[in-house]
Structure 1
Amino acid sequence: MNHDRLYVGGRWVAPTSGETIVVVSPSTEEVIGTVAAPSIADAGAAVAAARASFEAGTWRRTPVAERIAALRRLADAYEARVPEIGDLLTSEMGAISRWTQFVHAGGSVALIRAVCDDAEQYPWEEPRLGGSATILREPGGVVVAIPPWNVPQSTLLSKLVPALLAGCSVVVKPSPETPLDGLVLAELIDGSGLPEGVVSILPGGREIGEALVANPEVDHVAFTGSTAAGRSIAAVCGRDLKRVTLELGGKSAAIVLDDADLDVVTAGLKATAFNISGQACIAQTRVLAPRSRYNEIVDALATMVDGLRVGDPFDPATDLGPLVSSVHRDRVRDYVKTGVAEGARAVVGGVDAPTGTDRGWFLSPTLFADVDNKMRIAQEEIFGPVLSVIPYDTDADAVAAANDSDYGLAGTVWTTDPARADAVVREVRTGMIGVNAFRPHFSMPFGGVKASGIGREFGREGLDAFVEPKAYYHG
């Protein structure tokens, strides 16, 4: 798949740079496509088109019901291309096809519709003071949306859809690792009848992102990615007084209480720790296990991890595909080496590639035992298939260890006692937490505390991010 045009302000235009982004399959190391690379001038043109469209007001003055209808049409068009988008995602970033098809691409359709449902119930105009005043929630302006490579479609749509429903104009910068699916979305948007200038989609690297964030015509930056990049973006937005929402890293704890059903624990952590080969901000990568059952829990997890099948992501039997790039694979491998050097015990896995993966950026899933919560492998986001089991004595100790982290994005509690679970849940400082499972919903706020970010996506809170409340006192 090759794209030689850029989608700027609702039009397909020739790039000014003449350069291309080459997309390589992480499972075969073969080139699967190229896209035109935008220049700084192209990024400026996209922002200028967004600003012009916002000031002209065609979209922001469109009634909310009509904006919702337009996004529902986009969902219908997207649904027809789910198989194609799912296969493209597997080719681009190596996630297994049953996830890209049914969870990611299929879930993106559900995401659009869920946000539309929330928009229908949202208080766009809210009476106050007995009807003598009204809160008008108005479009926030020009938005720059920067999604990551690991969940490229849903993270893109989690910003684009509520921003459009709010009446904003949006410039999206997909990651250079996964530009192809972003341009398929541009094709769908191009056929959806949105006014010219309202949406631009420019896949590009860091320099394009930096230019977009720093552009004085941008009112709001919505970013998902690393905490380091988020800090840089927040600094620029703070200097220029732009609004900013940041969904950043995580080092989530799975607290296994001493009465937990280990069959439930292992089945749940197979999904929450190793989804997308561990390349997920919400991955539950710290397992806090009671000393009274520590060896039993380690053995159960070892059986689960050892049974994971690594290989061709298009094979329905595969559990884990490759990591997204050779650079990232080597980074995760270095963390495995660090864990051993720190004194942790690699019960399963290690630095070697799995048998039968002569090509591609594969790494064996690794389970560490005898991990201290102060070790780097327990404190830093690895973003790969590496799970650490940390012992604790009391429930209070487990909570303290869970909270002893720079991050606070997600978490789980595993127990057969609902009252005990509730007590623990209320003490863990995190943005999201589940009991005996972790299943985020598109109508619930998604985001974290501390170094995991600022603001929330999805639900009413996701719409709040893209509006400005105006206090209107009636005469």
Structure 2
Amino acid sequence: MIRKELKSLNIASTKEGTSTGQHWFGEGEILTSSSPVDGKDLKRVFSSSKQDYEQVLEKAIAAKGIWSSIPAPKRGEIVRQFGDRLRAQKSALGKLVSYEMGKSYQEGLGEVQEMIDICDFAVGQSRQLYGFTMHSERPAHRMYEQYHPLGIVGIISAFNFPVAVWAWNAALALVCGNVIIWKGSEKTPVCSIACQMILAEVLADNDLPEGISSICTGGAELGRWMAADKRIDLVSATGSTRMGKEVASTVAARLGKSLLELGGNNAIIVTPHADLKMTTMAAVFGAVGTAGQRCTSTRRLIVHNDVYDQVRTALIDAYGQLKIGDPLDVENHVGPLIDRQAVDNYLAALEDIESEGGRLLVAGGVLQGKGYESKCYVKPVIAEAENYYRIVQTETFAPILYLIRYEGTIADAIALQNDVAQGLSSAVMTNNLHEAEHFLSHRGSDCGIANVNIGTSGAEIGGAFGGEKETGGGRESGSDAWKAYMRRQTNTINYSDSIPLAQGITFNL
């Protein structure tokens, strides 16, 4: 069902990839990408052997001097061309994302649009890689700061956003003068190949070395190679907290740089002053969008006792209207989980909820029968729970929403929200100015993203994306996130005819 799109993206429609002399196909073990939509094999691709990995590094090292010597606005022009190619391929790539990952076609298109948006952002940024000028305390001296490319940026991305998160890193890293090596998720390798093909065409059309952008395909071992490799100047990793801790410790052991965007356990606080219609819409979309497989998915709904019963009733009614099925069908609201392992994690979480004393308001289960042959479709769940439950403290990548009651003030609700290990996204639904400002103050949300009257999921390119605590502390995408991809240097120029020494030291020379 995806053959036309694969052809449009210059990816062979045969099940087994064959060596074409291009390094992204590799010579290692064969990985089979199976769609969670219908359980069918999409394509078989070669994983990267250690020899393949070394060849990729050699090409990246050879290319980095050439690329960093090109003026930043010219590098921005290459990224602009990439964005234009994405516009031309938006429909085909969006459908591939939907089919290989399982998110809705509209979300697939939205993910490609995020790629286009970050390219536009990066093009502008290529003319604004600013430093600072400072006054020196020494006469006839000038001081300033400037930023230089790091060299090689390694990008590790997750299955849930198989193309957009790479583009967030790639577009900024490239305009900053770095070359990039990408390890996409082994669960969505065809999406990685498609993006690399598009960018490789742009580089070839401009007579630029292919080592400016490379991909390697594989699992955790490949990620470990990248994390331990001193030749990679920055490792930007998106995924689970467990994975991030391993990457961070390995990179830190060699005093390297890492940028981490890890797990979330996101909450919406609903106060007595909330618009309940808006609340229901934000909570449902946040909890079931992408089948609960976003790092910004709404996991917890912390509701004041005064409106708890109303919110609970509205949510149960809304969940009764959800349509679960093929994500390429625009009539459906919820698609499949990525694979059977994700389904097993979902089922284990349901058992834990009940064993800890929680109560299922909307029961779960795996859907069977026609249209659900992949056995990856599950029912979205609402559970009444307590914030301290172990399972509530854990991020489960599935459509499970915990309904938690609070009494007292906004400060009490914020304390519950912050009482988890993760700190990515958060929101409060209120029309009370005091509550909104308290939530956004230094005494409020401890998350990297804090919203008022909008849900936890979704982000705009213009703002830096990332979180605190076990979310890793990194920032990707907009604002001044570009600085993470460059090294900072302070320069002092003496244009006098003497050298003043520190602390008044003199020499009789």
Q: Would you call these one fold, judging by a TM-score over 0.5?
A: yes
Q: Pick the structure with greater CA Rg.
A: 2
Alpha-carbon distance in 1 for matches of 2:20, 2:389: 45
Counterpart residue identity of residue 88, structure 1: L
**Aligned: 1:301 with 2:315:** yes
In the alignment, the residues of structure 2 paired with residue 60 and residue 164 of structure 1 have an alpha-carbon distance, to the nearest angstrom, of 9
Q: 1:113 aligns with which of 112, 120, 144?
A: 120
How big is the shift at 1:354? 6.6
Tell me which amino acid in the other structure corresponds to 1:153.
V
Map of 1:453 onto structure 2 = 472
What is the distance in 2 between the residues matched to 1:208 and 1:47? 13
- The answer as to 2:26 corresponding to 1:15 is yes
Q: Which residue of 1 aligns with 2:79?
A: 71
Partner of 2:446: 429
1:58 aligns with 2:71: no
Confirm or deny: 8 A CA contact 1:337 1:351 kept in the other structure.
no
Find the counterpart in structure 2 of residue 467 from structure 1: 486
| Alignment TM-score, normalising by the size of structure 2 | 0.88
Q: Does 1:158 align with 2:177?
A: no
Question: How far is the alpha carbon of 1:95 from its aligned partner?
Answer: 0.6
Residue pairs, 1:141-290, within 5 angstroms: 141-193=151-203, 194-290=208-304
Q: Does 1:375 align with 2:378?
A: no
Q: CA deviation at 1:407?
A: 0.6
CA distance in 1, matches of 2:386, 2:66: 57
Summarize the Cα distance change of 1:179–1:13 in structure 2 as closer, same or farther, 3 Å threshold.
closer
TM-score, reference length from structure 1: 0.94
More deviation in 384-393 or 410-419? 410-419
Residue 211 of structure 2 aligns to a residue whose secondary structure is: coil
CA shift in 2, pair 1:422/1:336, >3 Å: same
Query: Does the 8 Å CA contact 2:25/2:45 hold for their aligned counterparts?
Result: no
Is the contact made by 1:6 and 1:13 (CA closer than 8 Å) also made in structure 2?
no
Structure 1 alignment gaps of length 5 or more? none
1:144 aligned counterpart, secondary structure: strand
Q: Compared with structure 1, are the counterparts of its residues 356 and 257 closer, same or farther at alpha carbon in structure 2 (3 Å cutoff)?
A: farther
Secondary structure of the residue that 1:75 maps to in structure 2?
helix
Give the aligned CA root-mean-square deviation in angstroms. Answer: 1.8
2:47 is matched with which residue? 37
3-state SS in 2 of match to 1:120? coil
Contact kept? 1:115, 1:458, Cα under 8 Å: no
Corresponding residue of 1:341: 355
Report the alpha carbon displacement of residue 208 of structure 1 after superposing the two structures with TM: 1.3
Question: Could you tell me which residue of structure 2 aligns to residue 332 of structure 1?
Answer: 346
Shift of 1:356: 5.2
Change (3 A) 1:61 1:380: same
The alpha-carbon distance between structure 1 residues 6 and 189, as it changes in their structure 2 partners (threshold 3 A), is farther
1:140–1:219 Cα contact (<8 Å) kept:
yes
CA contact (8 A) 1:251 1:286 kept: yes
In the aligned structure 2, how far is the partner of 1:355 from the partner of 1:268?
31
Give, as a single letter, the amino acid of the residue that structure 2 aligns with 1:363: V
Identical pairs, percent: 26
Q: 1:443 to 1:13 in 2, by over 3 A?
A: closer
Corresponding letter in the other structure for 1:415: T
Matched, 1:128 2:134: yes
Q: Which 5+ residue runs of structure 2 have no aligned equivalent?
A: 1-12, 495-509
CA contact (8 A) 1:354 1:364 kept: no
Partner of 1:104: 111
Partner amino acid for 2:462?
S
Residues 291 and 132 of structure 1: CA distance in aligned 2, closer, same or farther (over 3 Å): same
- 1:273-300 per-position Cα deviation (integer Å, ceiling 9, x unaligned): 2221000111121000011221111111
* Aligned equivalents of 1:290, 1:207: Cα separation in 2: 46
Give the Cα–Cα distance (whole angstroms) in 2 for the partners of residues 48 and 257 of structure 1. Answer: 56
Cα shift at 1:97:
0.8
In the alignment, is the contact (CA less than 8 A) between 2:111 and 2:163 conserved in 1? yes
1:409 aligns with 2:424: yes
Describe the shift of the 1:343–1:45 C-alpha distance in structure 2 as closer, same or farther (beyond 3 A).
same
Q: Is the 8 A contact 1:148 1:175 kept in 2?
A: yes
What is the one-letter code of the residue matched to 2:126?
A
- Which whole-Å deviations, capped at 9, do the CAs of 1:215-267 have from their partners, x for residues lacking one? 22111100000000000000101100110000000101100011111110111
CA distance in 2, matches of 1:58, 1:385: 47
SS at match of 2:148: strand
**Counterpart residue identity of residue 228, structure 1:** R
SS at match of 2:214: strand
Give the letter aligned to residue 122 of structure 2.
V
Which stretch of the first structure deviates more once superposed, 172-181 or 293-302? 293-302
Decide whether the 8 Å contact of 1:348 with 1:366 is kept in 2. Answer: yes
SS at match of 1:453: coil
SS in 1 for 2:39: coil
Aligned length: 467
Deviation, 1:118, is: 3.2
Please state how far the C-alpha of 1:397 moved relative to its aligned partner.
1.2
* Structure 2 counterpart SS, 1:137: strand
Tell me if 1:366 matches 2:381: yes
Tell me how far 1:36 sits from its aligned partner: 1.7
The answer to whether the 8 A contact 1:118-1:460 is kept is no
Q: CA deviation at 1:418?
A: 3.0
Distance in 1 of aligned mates of 2:26 and 2:299: 42
Deviation at 1:137, TM superposition (A): 0.3
Measure how far apart 1:114 and its partner are.
1.9
Mapped partners of 1:5, 1:443: distance in 2: 40
Give the deviation of 1:428 after TM superposition.
1.1
SS of residue matched to 1:318: coil
Instruction: Write out per-residue CA displacement over residues 391-422 of structure 1, whole angstroms, 9 at most, x where no aligned residue.
Output: 11122210110110001000110011233211
Per the TM alignment, residue 457 of structure 1 is displaced from its structure 2 partner at its CA by: 0.7
CA distance 1:14–1:442, change in 2 (3 Å): closer
